[in-house]
Amino acid sequence: MNIQKLLKNVLEKEEHYRQLIAYEIHDGIAQYLSAAIMHLEAYKANPSDNLENDPNMTGALRLLREASRETRHLISGLRPPALDELGIIDSLEMLIADARLEIQDIEFRHNLHGKRLPTQIEVSLFRISQESLTNIRKHSKANQVRVELIQEEAGTVSLTIYDDGCGFDSMNQIENCFGLEGIHQRAIHNGGTASIQSLPANGTTVCVSFPAPSHEAPASYSADGDNTH
């Protein structure tokens, strides 16, 4: 390999790493801060005399602490700390619990039941879910959300997030939206595919699939559609 090609490869890898860090900041720290601001704005609109037990204030503090933890982990690596501590299913349920503060009708179905996936697949699933749920809370005005994480017998893992909100023109908007483009890039980087389908007044469906070989057959569905979490 000549010097020009070597330099080009080094620069391309450096640019890819910079882009990955940008996605991590946008999909991680920025999302926690954005959610904390929403909690504080909700508290400002309806202040409580019992500040210590107000759910918006305690939620904001928890999210700010999570943002601080993410900052420290970003310095040493790019894996969300929640994944190491909770696993992918409990981490997604944590994101969904936050979303339920504004959208009560959220159903989560999966068939992993404690199984762990390859590290980068888990990171991508977590970040894509975090970006999608934040977008739903901020922009969609949705009443219903469905999250489904399924591992097929062949090993493919698919994540589908649907909301019945206001939607947008997905044919023209994705290229100009950093977060939505990040979903595509995360899928491609891990050998997967991503589809974002939306039309004005017709909701949005985000679907990503990754190759993730399984060592055991998938179990039956688990669902929390009764909203008991």
Q: How far is CA 44 from each of CA 22, 40, 48, rounded to the nearest angstrom?
A: 31, 6, 9
pLDDT band at 228 (very low <50, low <70, confident <90, very high): very low
**Domain-by-domain residue ranges, the chain?**
1-78, 105-229
pTM beyond cutoff 0.75: no
| pLDDT tens by residue, 100-133 | 988 989 999 999 977 889 888 998 899 899 889 9
Average pLDDT of the residues in 74-97: 80
Residue (of 162, 150, 151, 37) closest to 105 by Cα position: 162
More confident residue, 93 or 50: 93
Residue range 105-229, CATH number: 3.30.565.10
pLDDT attached to residue 66: 83
pLDDT attached to residue 11: 53
DSSP state, residue 100 = T
pLDDT band at 93 (very low <50, low <70, confident <90, very high): very high
Residue (of 213, 167, 206, 169) closest to 187 by Cα position: 206
pLDDT attached to residue 10: 52
Residue 47 clears pLDDT 50, i.e. is over it: yes
pLDDT attached to residue 206: 97
Neighbouring CB atoms inside 10 A of 88's CB total 23
Average pLDDT of the residues in 188-205: 92
Q: What mean pLDDT value characterizes the chain?
A: 81
pLDDT band at 203 (very low <50, low <70, confident <90, very high): very high
H helices present in the chain, as ranges: 3-24, 30-45, 55-76, 81-99, 119-135, 170-173, 178-189
pLDDT attached to residue 218: 46
The proportion of the chain whose per-residue pLDDT surpasses 70, expressed as a percent, equals: 79
What the block records as the tokens of 140 is: 């969609």
